Structure 1
Amino acid sequence: MTDAEKPIAEKPAKVKRTQSVFTLLVQVGRKEGDGLPDKATGAGLMIYASGVDEAEAVRETVAILKEADLAVLEVEGLGTIEEREAAGDEIDGEERKLMGRALAENSVIVAQMTPFYD
């Protein structure tokens, strides 16, 4: 059998991993050009980030925040909407809308920023 006669091996089908939206609490410190209020020592951010898993959502979030000149100190994952509801969290309509937007746009959305002061 010549090479031309050999059957072509098909590539295995790629498994499409579904995206989820993860709620992340991010603590940032000060860095020149970060846009935080002058007397703030840092800030806490509530973020909705899409990803195939929480690790991907965290990596994407940290990369975007660094691009915005924010000094990321700590990231805490609160889970997906289903995980949060199972834990007893109440999720209002506005929060659901922002989560839906993060999923539809495959994006990172800062839902809330709270500056910290000494």
Structure 2
Amino acid sequence: MSTGKTKPPKRQQVYTLLVQIGRKDGDGLPKQATGAALMVYASGVDEEEAVRETVAVLKQADTAPLDVTGYGTLAEREAEGHDISDEERDLMQRALDENAVIVAQMTPFFDQTVH
């Protein structure tokens, strides 16, 4: 018989992440792009898990994740005064419902140097 208290299971939450990716063969980016920024909604019991899952999914999708910046949960973003659209809320809810990583937006980077 165990006398230790069992911790209640942690609830999944959705985290907003900004992921920078580099170039890799088959990544699907425009030919002239040097990389891209991805706005991602990812579920996890904590931000670290959401980041790990996001990187794993992006690697499976033949992209080269370079850097991940976390912007927190919906509640954390609201507390910071972020303006969050209904569309964004719907995507966050879908990520939670499906225990998924959802890429909401992709912005390719292009080299702006003049030749």
* Both structures adopt the same fold (TM-score exceeding 0.5): yes
Length, aligned pairs only: 110
C-alpha distance in structure 2 between counterparts of 1:65 and 1:15, whole Å = 31
Partner of 2:62: 69
Structure index of larger Rg: 1
Partner of 2:51: 58
State the Cα deviation string for residues 15-47 of structure 1 (Å, max 9, x = none). 211010000000000001111110000000000
C-alpha distance in structure 2 between counterparts of 1:41 and 1:21, whole Å = 29
CA RMSD in angstroms comes to 1.3
TM-score normalised by structure 1 residue count: 0.89
What amino acid does structure 2 have at the position aligned with 1:84?
Answer: R
Q: Point out where structure 1 has 5 or more consecutive residues left out of the alignment.
A: 1-8
Correspondence 1:117 to 2:110: yes
Give every structure 1 segment of 4 or more consecutive aligned residues whose post-TM-superposition deviation is greater than 2 Å: 9-15
Partner of 1:87: 80
C-alpha distance in structure 2 between counterparts of 1:23 and 1:13, whole Å = 30
Q: 1:106 aligns with which of 99, 104, 109?
A: 99
Q: 1:34 aligns with which of 23, 27, 31?
A: 27
Correspondence 1:22 to 2:22: no
Q: Secondary structure at the match of 2:41?
A: strand
C-alpha distance in structure 1 between counterparts of 2:100 and 2:6, whole Å = 26
Q: Point out where structure 2 has 5 or more consecutive residues left out of the alignment.
A: none
What amino acid does structure 1 have at the position aligned with 2:62?
Answer: D
Q: Secondary structure at the match of 2:77?
A: helix
